[in-house]
Amino acid sequence: MFSYRHAFHAGNFADVLKHFVQVEIISHLQKKDAPFDYIDTHAGAGMYRLQSDMAQKNQEYLNGIGKLQGNDALSELAPYLALIDDFNPGGRLQNYPGSPMIAAQMLRPQDKGWLFELHPRDAEHLSKNFAGNRNCRVRVEDGFKGLNGLLPTQSRRALVLIDPPYEQKEDYQRVVAALTLIHRKMATATVAIWYPVVERKRIDSLEKQIAATGIRKIELFELGIRAESEGHGMTSSGMIVVNPPWTLKEKMQALLPKLAQLLSEDGAAHFRCETLAGE
């Protein structure tokens, strides 16, 4: 259960999609002075060196952030790219921040971050990366289980990011169970669920299960960079967002076609921008 290490995939096309959505949601929450809580159920190490052996093995970042840094053609990406630049002084792409580090960079003094990581090595790195950070608390435990004790948050405003590795088939059911728990305890929370498309039937099933919960205001955004083919790794990835900012769908409708075209590996670029459940 501890074989997955995000360092192999840091900065790839899936990270671009996930972190763009994350930045947009946090920016929207910060339009109000009232505090909010950021909860990361699978935080990873927090920061990744792109010259490390793991990142260099497949160099996935080259077809993700590597094609976008310094690219002014996609104006929608400007806030996200500016944040990535903060971790790469001098303009040379050397580091890629994970979702907890991106959140920490954006959190205000009144906001709080809760970072869960179960992998012993990644949890160790995460703890070191956040040593002395007063806004964020690292918890070396199962993020799915940790949600119950945090919700509802004292702030009554929250973003919950759920992005398990899906190494175990049970992760798909645990995602649905976590979403149901969040909605029962804090229906106003924004929930962002990341998913990989390795087997399309699993994603079809996940969508049906989420729709069957009866939860309203759910949008789906998906980015594909190669033709779907089972057994050949991740071809697409997506974000399912509950209680999204009202501006998010319009931005994704403008961005996804251009992003898919730019990052396509075989000319089979595709994307989805759909409402799974309305008001």
**Residues classed as catalytic:** 163
End-to-end CA separation in angstroms for the chain: 38
Q: Which own/partner contact pairs does 204-213 have at CB distance under 8 Å and 24+ positions apart?
A: 205/172, 206/172, 206/175, 206/176, 207/240, 207/276, 209/172, 209/173, 209/176, 210/176, 210/179, 210/240, 210/276, 211/276, 211/277, 213/176, 213/179, 213/180, 213/183
Any residues with CB less than 8 A from the CB of 260 and at least 6 apart, and which?
Answer: 223, 224, 225, 269, 270, 271
Burial class of 32 by CB neighbour count within 10 A (0 to 12, 13 to 18, 19+): exposed
One-letter amino acid of 221? F
Q: CA-to-CA distance for 128 and 4, rounded, in angstroms?
A: 20
**What are residue 184's phi and psi, to 5 degrees?**
-70, -40
Q: CA-to-CA distance for 178 and 274, rounded, in angstroms?
A: 22
Q: CA-to-CA distance for 188 and 156, rounded, in angstroms?
A: 8
Closest of 204, 206, 259, 216 to residue 74, by C-alpha: 259
Q: CA-to-CA distance for 63 and 67, rounded, in angstroms?
A: 6
Q: CA-to-CA distance for 99 and 105, rounded, in angstroms?
A: 10
CA 4 to chain centre: 16
